[in-house]
Amino acid sequence: MILMLWSMAFPVPYMLVILLLITLPVIWVLVFPTRKGFVLFPLFLSSLNLAYRAWLDSEIPNWEHFWLPFGLFTFFVFVVLFFMFPVLQRIKWLLLLLLPLCAAYSYGVTINLNSLFDYSAPTTFQTKVIQTRTTHSVKGGTGYLATLLPFGPVAENKEFNVGLSFYNSHPVGSPVTITLKKGLLGIPWYFINDRYTIFRGNF
């Protein structure tokens, strides 16, 4: 549970956090061999947090090259778990739970590996903030959003979840640098420089 809070609130060092999330189901089986039947629990936690970090940290302008590695990861994880844990073969309703878990886990793994180990040459674009706003959840949380002018592969104004630091330092009219990269798995992705460097460091 500490890892889950760590990854959502302040994932530093970023690479360590992501790798721990990816390997958590394997670590569970190795550390608790007599309770490996409960592997769906760490898989659920990993899936939730990996998908959250992928959604928040990596913007994908074109999903064309995403589906093949995502599909292969999903199939591989599903087959391994299905044959490794006989309980999944006996209790059919667990399969209905397993498939979306494998898909969420594979989405997070695909996007995070694609960006985290991407050493391709970056391409930068300049844009600027045209609108900022905040949102408030029923539990008291605050979201910070900024709308940017079109740039590079993005053909229209786009709103981003940017966090408090970026929100305070980039009022309307502020210039913003966007970095586009090719992706380790061939999935192009981009990020807002000042938001990205808070956790991952600069390129």
The domain at 123-181 falls in which architecture?
Beta Barrel (2.40)
Q: Hey, is 56 helix, strand or coil?
A: helix
Count the alpha carbons within 13 Å of 173 in the hemisphere toward its beta carbon: 0
Ranges in the chain, pLDDT < 70: 1, 29, 32-39, 195-203
- pLDDT score of 200: 55
- pLDDT score of 195: 67
- pLDDT score of 4: 76
- pLDDT score of 81: 82
- pLDDT score of 9: 76
* Rounded Cα–Cα distance for residues 131 and 67 (Å): 33
Q: Which residues of the chain does CATH 2.40.50 include?
A: 123-181
Containing 92, the helix (H) or strand (E) segment is helix 92-116
* Rounded Cα–Cα distance for residues 117 and 58 (Å): 13
pTM for the full model? 0.85
- The residue type found at 69 is P
